[in-house]
């Protein structure tokens, strides 16, 4: 399984890009993959091929009416592990002995 943390931003469409972010989040939500939206991007967990396909679909969705798109992505592959979206945070909280803001 892998975790993909990415942000996708259309350029030249003005200061607010939430309409475009919402378009991508809809695709992510409909994918059925586990995900977490955060202020600067989205984390998604799945098989590497699923994640890369999803990222491509997000780019294509914005490319319909955006001539330039900036994508920042990090991929964490770990063989034999799933549930990492929550497990990574749980591990840090365990070491701290308390919950952290989410």
Q: Where are the domains of the chain?
A: 2-96
CATH topology of domain 2-96: Alpha-Beta Plaits (3.30.70)
pTM across the whole model? 0.85
Task: Say which residue the tokens 């955006």 belong to.
Answer: 66
Taking the CB of residue 49, how many other CB atoms lie within 10 A of it? 9
Lowest mean pLDDT among 10-24, 38-52, 72-86: 72-86
Taking the CB of residue 43, how many other CB atoms lie within 10 A of it? 19
pLDDT of 41 strictly over 90: yes
Confidence of residue 93 (pLDDT cuts 50, 70, 90): confident
Task: For residues 7 and 73, give the distance between their C-alpha atoms in angstroms, rounded to a whole number.
Answer: 7
Could you tell me the two tokens for 4?
Answer: 């993909």
């Amino acid at each position: 399984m892998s975790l993909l943390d990415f942000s996708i931003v259309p350029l030249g469409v003005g200061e607010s890009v939430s309409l475009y972010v919402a378009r991508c989040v809809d695709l992510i939500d409909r994918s059925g993959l586990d995900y977490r939206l955060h202020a600067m991007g989205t984390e998604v967990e799945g098989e590497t091929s699923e994640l890369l396909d999803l990222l491509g679909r997000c780019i294509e969705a914005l490319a319909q009416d955006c001539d330039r798109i900036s994508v920042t992505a990090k991929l964490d592959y770990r063989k034999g592990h799933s549930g990492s979206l929550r497990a990574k945070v749980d591990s840090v909280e365990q070491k701290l002995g308390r919950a952290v803001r989410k």
